[in-house]
Amino acid sequence: MLNRKKMVAIGMIFMAITSFAKAKYVFYFIGDGMGAGQRQITEEYQRTVLKNGDKLLVNSLPVAGITTTYSADTLITDSAASGTALATGYKTNNGYVAKDANGNNLTTILELARSKGMATGIVTTTRLTHATPAVFVSHNINRDNENEIAEDYVKSGVDYFAGGGYRHFTGKDSDSKSKRKDSRDLVKEFENKGYMTFIGEDSAQGFEKWKPAAGQKVFAAFQSSHMPYSIDEKSKNLPSLKMMTEKGIELLSQDKDGFFMMIEGGRIDHASHAQDVQGTIYDTLALDEAVKKAYDFYEKYPEDTLIVVAADHETGGMGLGFGNNYFMNLDQLKNVKVSIEDTLQNAYTGDREAYFKYLAVNMGLSDLTQEEKNRIIKGMDLEDKKETKDSSQLYGGYSPTAIAVAHIVSERAGMQWTTFAHTGTQVPLSAIGKDAERFGGFKDNTDIAKAIAESMGMSLD
């Protein structure tokens, strides 16, 4: 016969075993737009051009899976619908933020982690209110309602925010870059709730020097909109994804209940939209560097740490191979020094000679063929005549000169793109650590959040 005392003791042992068996430190990396092509070309560039190791860390983790990406209403998802699947375990329509297709709120794994007392963090290279971070913290029928999404953040209780996009938080009276329509100053509201805040480029140094202490809460947004592309980053001196991840680990790991942190490489997607092969490679490398920080942490706490590296969809239809040949030429890319979207796109001002000089210095194009020059001149003609709007099918809404250059660079490297939007293909996933084997194999994108919840000892049902 078991007496009450014995039963309590057995129960306590059972609870100790089951709680021991949960992932205490959870890293959820999302490469936005990071399909198989993006991962492969980045690894090839690292191996053959940078000569910096054979493999990306994300391609070396012991558990690998493949994930579907489609949303409730289309095979070609957007980041809100696929992010909702990755954050809540449910499909929804494109554009919806952690709401089901009927508009009901869905519980996110970050909310579950918080309800369990875990510390939580959101890190991204995009605006913090962009779709992928938003689906973990906010609920909205439209991803473009970024001011409303920002208001949800103030109420969220999340311990650590780091990324870009202060324009949806600063008051319009105090900041000319503010996009708020009301008179609220959400940065002040964060401060009133006890958050330390780091706002704007000038706060980068303070952030670098900051030594995270237990119990601190932080809201850091270094740019009014997105953080710079990694390829443009050196000139800006802002915290990298790696540094934002590292500070997050230092802060959140001081919570005795463990932590859940979502870290997004958000501009892999933007680069691939703009058909910017070198921008894509550099932002994928930056994500890999951030994963290394989590991996270092995993090595200290292998029994308690889970790292999942997922993607929400592929962007651009990045095809490794072009024309009729079996060799790529990634060496061609090593003299590409600026991003297509943020930098090259602003470089053509009507002075054709100056632009061709710019291409020689910044894009490695000192030996353009006449055929290549003609393609760029066609773009210049359209821009000079301001006929760029009609050409959105051909140039995706970007500057025609910049896209002409992007295509020349891509083809010289031996690859091309199929779309300025996303594609409906499956994407790779990698994992290591506590319960990592749950993530192997072919999965629907809704399975990932459910498996992470279970690893944390909870359920999204």
Which region among 93-101, 111-119, 261-269, 382-390 touches Zn ion (by CB under 5 A)?
261-269
85 in helix, strand or coil? helix
Instruction: Compare residues 146 and 151 and give the one whose CB is closer to Zn ion.
Output: 146
**Beta carbon of residue 458, minimum distance to Zn ion (angstroms, whole number):** 30
In 335-354, which positions are buried (b, 16+ CB within 10 angstroms) versus exposed (e)? ebbbbbbbbbbebbeeeeee
> Which residue of 269, 276, 289, 312 would you call a contact of Zn ion, by CB under 5 A?
269
Helix locations, 108-203, DSSP H = 109-115, 131-137, 146-156, 186-192
Whether 90 and 100 have beta carbons less than 8 Å apart is answered as yes
Reference 362, options 388, 391, 333; nearest CA is 333
Instruction: Compare residues 269 and 383 and give the one whose CB is closer to Zn ion.
Output: 269
Whether 444 and 9 have beta carbons less than 8 Å apart is answered as no
**Beta carbon of residue 76, minimum distance to Zn ion (angstroms, whole number):** 10
Which region among 17-25, 166-174, 267-275, 297-305 touches Zn ion (by CB under 5 A)?
267-275
Whether 458 and 452 have beta carbons less than 8 Å apart is answered as no
**Beta carbon of residue 316, minimum distance to Zn ion (angstroms, whole number):** 9
Alpha-carbon distance of 343 to 337, in angstroms, equals: 10
In 29-40, which positions are buried (b, 16+ CB within 10 angstroms) versus exposed (e)? bbbbbbbbbbbb
Site string for Zn ion, 221-260 (x = CB under 5 A): ----------------------------------------
- How many binding residues for Zn ion (CB under 5 A)? 1
Which region among 186-194, 214-222, 266-274, 295-303 touches Zn ion (by CB under 5 A)?
266-274
**Beta carbon of residue 304, minimum distance to Zn ion (angstroms, whole number):** 34
- Those residues with Cβ within 8 angstroms of residue 253's Cβ, 6 or more apart along the chain or in another chain: 25, 259, 297
Does residue 264 belong to the site contacting Zn ion (CB under 5 A)? no
In 403-419, which positions are buried (b, 16+ CB within 10 angstroms) versus exposed (e)? bbbbbbbbbbbbbbbeb
Which region among 264-272, 318-326, 372-380, 410-418 touches Zn ion (by CB under 5 A)?
264-272
Which region among 176-184, 263-271, 335-343, 352-360 touches Zn ion (by CB under 5 A)?
263-271
Distances (CA, A) of 29 to 135, 141, 308: 14, 24, 6
Q: Is 366 a catalytic residue?
A: no
Residue pointed to by tokens 């592309």: 229
320 in helix, strand or coil? strand
119 — alpha (psi -120 to 50), left (phi > 0) or beta?
A: beta
Instruction: Compare residues 29 and 295 and give the one whose CB is closer to Zn ion.
Output: 29
246 in helix, strand or coil? helix
Element of type H or E holding 220: strand 217-221
Instruction: Compare residues 224 and 272 and give the one whose CB is closer to Zn ion.
Output: 272
Using Cβ positions, the residue closest to Zn ion within the complex turns out to be: 269
**Beta carbon of residue 259, minimum distance to Zn ion (angstroms, whole number):** 28
Reference 265, options 248, 250, 247, 280; nearest CA is 280
Instruction: Compare residues 65 and 266 and give the one whose CB is closer to Zn ion.
Output: 266
Instruction: Compare residues 70 and 298 and give the one whose CB is closer to Zn ion.
Output: 70
Residue at 48: amino acid letter: T
User: Which of 19, 71, 79, 235 is an active site residue?
Assistant: 79
Query: Which residues 385-424 are close enough to bind Zn ion by CB under 5 A?
Result: none
Reference 122, options 111, 141, 136; nearest CA is 136
**Beta carbon of residue 455, minimum distance to Zn ion (angstroms, whole number):** 28
Which region among 63-71, 209-217, 265-273, 284-292 touches Zn ion (by CB under 5 A)?
265-273
**Beta carbon of residue 425, minimum distance to Zn ion (angstroms, whole number):** 14
**Beta carbon of residue 345, minimum distance to Zn ion (angstroms, whole number):** 17
Instruction: Compare residues 264 and 269 and give the one whose CB is closer to Zn ion.
Output: 269
- Those residues with Cβ within 8 angstroms of residue 11's Cβ, 6 or more apart along the chain or in another chain: none
Instruction: Compare residues 111 and 269 and give the one whose CB is closer to Zn ion.
Output: 269
Residues annotated catalytic, as ranges: 79
Q: Which residues are at the interface with Zn ion (CB under 5 A)?
A: 269
